[in-house]
Amino acid sequence: MIEGLDLSTILVFVAIGFAAQIVDGALGMAFGQISSTLLISTGVPPAAASAGVHTAETFTTAVSGISHVLHGNVDWRLFFRLAVPGVLGGILGAYVLTQIDADTAKPFVLAYLTGLGVYLFYRGIMHRHTEREPKVVSPLGLIGGFLDAAGGGGWGAIVTSNLLVQGSSPRKTIGTVNTAEFFLTITISATFIATLGWEAFTAATVGLLVGGVLAAPFGAWIAKRVNPDMLLTFVGALVTLTSLYGLYRALT
């Protein structure tokens, strides 16, 4: 746990939560990766960091999901195909993280995401995104939920990027993945509480929560108004950069 955090330190986490949620709401990913990385770097154990981040995300994804629904960014058929297996994968991943070291597969997942990010970036700048119905959805939700809980984040990067590669609409994908994430995070948080107890949560979590909730309505507004090719380009760049950084940390 982080003890003795003063107001100025909490405000730093508020700012981090705000910035991370703006990116997450607009591009469908990154809140977990950014927040977990910073918590772990301050000495929080991975399981406790994942628990704290998912607790904050329970609130931020609720506000973000409502905003995306109001802006018409949600494909409800896609939502149900993602949410149910995502929740099941999240329960399993949260349990695994509290029992064993799940870092073994991390470099392989990050290398895979780096490749996806480069491909999405290329398609965005070359205007080669042709929208079509994604075919692999439920297994993707299951894997995304598991890796999100076990790795402290990654639902958006894994699910959003894979759906976009399959040709799903960028705006609808981002809105739907964000909305489904609420049900994933509340389930993961409950699992962590049952296995770790309330001592996993810190004052830093409160800062992330406050900043994330304040930023959540703006991300949906941005996603609705940005050109699909530009969204694809930004998503590709973000996935590539965050995955490369994660890969560097995992291998050093």
Higher-pLDDT residue of 76 and 1 is 76
pLDDT at 2: 46
pLDDT bucket at 153, cuts 50 / 70 / 90: low
Lowest mean pLDDT among 5-14, 56-65, 93-102, 182-191: 93-102
pLDDT at 80: 92
pLDDT at 171: 84
Q: Is residue 62 pLDDT above 70, yes or no?
A: yes
Q: Is residue 248 pLDDT above 50, yes or no?
A: yes
Query: pTM of the prediction?
Result: 0.72
User: Long-range pairs for 224-231 at CB < 8 Å and ≥24 separation?
Assistant: 224/71, 224/72, 224/73, 224/171, 226/26, 228/129, 228/169, 228/170, 228/171, 229/124, 229/125, 229/127, 229/129, 230/124, 231/27, 231/124, 231/170, 231/171, 231/174
Higher-pLDDT residue of 21 and 151 is 21
DSSP state of 126: T
Give the tens place of pLDDT for each residue, 6-55. 677 778 788 888 888 887 777 777 777 777 767 666 666 666 676 777 77
Give the tens place of pLDDT for each residue, 185-232. 887 777 766 766 666 566 677 788 888 888 878 877 887 777 777 777
Q: Is residue 135 pLDDT above 50, yes or no?
A: yes
CA-based radius of gyration for the chain:
17
pLDDT bucket at 1, cuts 50 / 70 / 90: very low
Higher-pLDDT residue of 177 and 245 is 177
Largest CA distance in the chain: 52
Find which of 15-24, 80-89, 123-132, 139-148 is predicted with most confidence, using mean pLDDT.
80-89
